[in-house]
Amino acid sequence: MSGAAGPAVEQPASFEFEPEVWAQAEKIIARYPEGRQQSAVMPLLDLAQRQHGWLPQAAIRCVAEKLGMPYIRAYEVATFYTMYNLAPVGKFHLQLCRTTPCWLRGADELRRAIKDRTGLSHAGVSDDGQFSLVEVECLGACCNAPMIQINDDFYEDLDYESCTNLLDRLAKDDVPAPGPVNGRRFSEPAEGRKTLLDRVEGAS
C-alpha cells in the first residue's frame, strides 16, 4: 500500500536527478559491490521523492534505469512501502498510526482532531494544500502511543487537545521539536524515571 491513495492521474512527462542529488545517489550506489547496485533502489526512490515532493512514475522509471533494473521491480518497491507517496501530498504529511497500542490509547481522538482541524477524515490533501493524511500500521513508537509521524518526525503522547495545538502551530509554520508532547523524556515512565536501584521505604 502506498502512502497516497494511488498513483496520481496527472504525471510529469520526465524526471532527472538534480546534480547535487545525483551526487548523493552515486555515494549510495558505491556502497554496494559490483553487480549489486539494484540494492540501492529504496534510498534512490527516497532521494527522488525528496527532490520532487512526491514520487511520480517518471522518477521510478529514472531510478530503475540508473540501477539497471526492470521498471516493474522498482515500481513494486514503490507501491509496497508507505514511505513512498505516488501522488502529491501536503506540506505537512500526517501518518496516523492505527495499530493496536495507538488505537487503545486514543488514536481515534487524534483522527477526530485531524478531521476537525483539516477536514481530512481518512486520506487525501486538505483544500489549502497544507496537510495530507494517510493511516498507517505500526511506526514503532508504541511506548509513546498514540502518535503521528509528520514528514520525518514523530510526535508522541498526543491527545485531542495537543494534536489540535500541534496542527495549529504547523499551519503557522511553527514546527515544534519532535518527541513526546506531554513533557516526558523519550520513553521513560510517565510518572518519572525509575531504576532497579530505587528502594521503596520499608521494603526489605
From CA 180, how far away is CA 154, in angstroms rounded? 8
Mean pLDDT confidence for 91-111: 95
Place 160 in a pLDDT band, splitting at 50, 70 and 90: very high
Number of helical H runs and strand E runs in the chain: 7, 6
In the chain, % of residues over pLDDT 90? 80
Place 36 in a pLDDT band, splitting at 50, 70 and 90: very high
**Each residue of 171-187: pLDDT tens digit?**
999 999 999 998 888 88
pTM: 0.82
How many C-beta neighbours within 10 Å does residue 196 have?
5
Domains and CATH numbers, the chain: 19-80 (1.10.10), 92-180 (3.40.30.10)
From CA 115, how far away is CA 133, in angstroms rounded? 10
**Each residue of 43-67: pLDDT tens digit?**
999 999 999 999 999 999 999 999 9
Report the pLDDT value the prediction gives residue 181, as an integer from 0 to 100. Answer: 93
